[in-house]
């Protein structure tokens, strides 16, 4: 009999969900969404609990050494999630205590949920299903639905929305979200200590107010996130300073609660009510989301950053992980220079002259600086090589005479 019976090879479902949430809150929420769908599927199709179905599948695998039942389970779950089940409600949450109706999911969401359920089957059910198993089984997905092109938000539309938000904190949330090209989830977690106004005061406005977004509050891509620096445009400086002066270092600047999910939901609902009252009621057919939603602010700045600098900068400033590494190697001066180029494109109330009217001229200047930097490095290397070659190394006799002189001169 094994002496290790006190050790478990699997986790309970509750333990696994807690573990995923500790790894990353966003991942935890997504995993809970996948599990909630799997639970409803099992109740709807088999009238059994999800955990019971996992146990039955594991028994089958141990008995037959075949994964066919498990793969068929995943295939049925795929097509079930692609259909609406409005008579069923998702697991209740702090956002909706009754649970929202179970709507149809798009293919991207379904693929993400299936990946999470495969992990649950392994970690909780003890049923490892590899990517090769899925590929061999040829797990299929419904065709991509036709999606409407995202409708951009103009700076004029955004200004109208800001002007009609009467709560100063919320107005600055919107305006700074634009300045930062940030996600709402990160914005509601910013604290006063993340804002650095030292350089701003010392330089009398030449250095913008700098905001550090720690990687702990950033959305992860394949488990990776980066700490990033953002800046406040000049016309928003007075508003944010007025907001900060009333706060202690650890106080939330924009968030309404420490519960991130609830804070995000509060802001999304408030924004939704405001824009609809202003007449922005159009919705996308494929997901019923408002076309002028709170996430459109980030897209507005992305488009502006791409126009002001280039797509790489727009992606990096917007925290897209694959672009961040290069951007984070830049000096603070270089980051601020890029931001000053972006600033005129996202300024709403005062006219700011564009630093570089000609993209070709800017790129030419950038290339020239790089060539000069490369040449300096080459010249330094050549200089060092010449110095080493021309250095006078004393022969043995000269060294012997020198040692004798030093000994006579300085010996006691």
Give the start-to-end residue ranges of the domains of the chain: 13-137, 155-345
Each residue's pLDDT tens digit, 8-49: 789 999 999 999 988 877 888 899 999 999 999 999 999 999
Whether the per-residue pLDDT at 375 is higher than 80: the answer is: no
SS (H, E, C) 238-252: HHHHHHHCCCCCCCE
Measured at the CA of 259, the angle between CA 268 and CA 177, to 5 degrees, comes to 45
What would be the CATH architecture of the domain defined by 155-345?
Orthogonal Bundle (1.10)
Adjacency order of strands within the sheet including 195-196 = 195-196, 210-213, 228-231
Is residue 14 within a helix (H) or strand (E), and if so which, with residue range?
Answer: helix 13-23
Could you tell me the pLDDT band of residue 410, with boundaries at 50, 70 and 90? Answer: low
Q: Are 370 and 334 in contact (CB under 8 A)?
A: no
Whether the per-residue pLDDT at 204 is higher than 90: the answer is: no
Could you tell me the pLDDT band of residue 322, with boundaries at 50, 70 and 90? Answer: confident
Measured at the CA of 165, the angle between CA 163 and CA 167, to 5 degrees, comes to 125
Whether the per-residue pLDDT at 295 is higher than 70: the answer is: yes
Alpha-carbon gap, residue 328 to 315, rounded angstroms: 12
Beta strands (DSSP E) in 159-303 are: 195-196, 210-213, 228-231
Residues 6+ apart with CB under 8 A from 161: 174, 271, 274, 275, 278, 280, 292
Residue 335's region, left for phi above 0, alpha for psi from -120 to 50, else beta, is: alpha
Could you tell me the pLDDT band of residue 67, with boundaries at 50, 70 and 90? Answer: very high
CA separation, residue 268 to residues 135, 265, 401 (Å): 39, 5, 85
User: How large a percentage of the chain has pLDDT more than 70?
Assistant: 82
- Mean of the pLDDT values across residues 353-380? 58
User: Phi/psi of residue 231, each to 5°?
Assistant: -135, 155
Alpha-carbon gap, residue 171 to 348, rounded angstroms: 13
Alpha-carbon gap, residue 305 to 62, rounded angstroms: 56
* Total residues belonging to the chain: 412
- Give pTM, 2 decimals: 0.74
Could you tell me the pLDDT band of residue 120, with boundaries at 50, 70 and 90? Answer: very high
User: Over the chain, what is the mean pLDDT?
Assistant: 86
Pick the residue with more confidence: 333 or 354?
A: 333
- Mean of the pLDDT values across residues 336-346? 96
């Amino acid at each position: 009999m094994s002496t290790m019976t006190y050790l478990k090879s699997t986790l309970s479902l509750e333990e696994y969900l807690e573990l995923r949430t500790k790894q990353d809150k966003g991942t935890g929420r997504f995993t809970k969404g996948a599990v909630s769908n799997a639970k409803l599927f099992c109740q709807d199709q088999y009238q059994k609990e999800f955990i019971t179905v996992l146990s039955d599948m594991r028994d089958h695998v141990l008995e037959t050494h075949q994964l066919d039942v498990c793969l068929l389970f995943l295939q049925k779950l795929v097509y079930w999630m692609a259909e609406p089940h409005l008579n069923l409600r998702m697991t209740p949450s702090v956002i909706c205590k009754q649970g929202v109706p179970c709507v149809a999911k798009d293919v991207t969401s379904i693929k993400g949920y299936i990946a999470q359920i495969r992990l649950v089957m392994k970690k909780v059910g003890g049923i490892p299903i590899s990517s090769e198993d899925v590929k061999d089984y040829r797990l299929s997905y419904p065709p991509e639905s036709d999606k409407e092109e995202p409708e951009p938000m103009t700076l004029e539309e955004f200004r109208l929305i800001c002007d009609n938000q009467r709560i100063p904190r919320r107005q600055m949330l919107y305006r700074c979200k634009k300045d930062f090209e940030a996600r709402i989830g990160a914005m509601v977690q910013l604290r006063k200590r993340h804002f650095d106004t030292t350089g701003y005061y010392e330089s009398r406005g030449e250095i913008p107010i700098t905001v550090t977004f720690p990687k702990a509050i950033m959305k992860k891509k394949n488990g990776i996130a980066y700490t990033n620096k953002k800046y406040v445009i000049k016309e928003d400086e007075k508003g944010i300073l007025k907001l900060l002066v009333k706060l202690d270092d650890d106080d939330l600047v924009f968030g309404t609660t420490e519960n991130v999910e609830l804070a995000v939901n509060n802001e999304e609902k408030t924004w939704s009510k405001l824009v609809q009252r202003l007449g922005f009621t159009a919705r996308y057919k494929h997901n019923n989301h408002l076309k002028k939603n709170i996430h459109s602010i980030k897209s507005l700045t992305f488009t502006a950053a791409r126009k002001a600098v280039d797509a790489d900068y727009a992606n990096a400033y917007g925290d897209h992980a694959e672009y961040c590494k290069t951007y984070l190697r830049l000096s603070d001066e270089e980051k601020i220079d890029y931001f000053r180029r972006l600033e005129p494109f996202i300024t709403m109330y005062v006219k700011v002259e564009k630093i570089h009217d000609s993209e070709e001229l800017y790129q030419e200047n950038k290339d020239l600086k790089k060539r000069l930097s490369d040449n300096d490095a080459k010249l330094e290397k050549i200089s060092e090589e010449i110095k080493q070659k021309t250095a006078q190394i004393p022969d043995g006799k000269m060294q012997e005479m020198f040692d004798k002189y030093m000994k006579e001169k300085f010996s006691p």
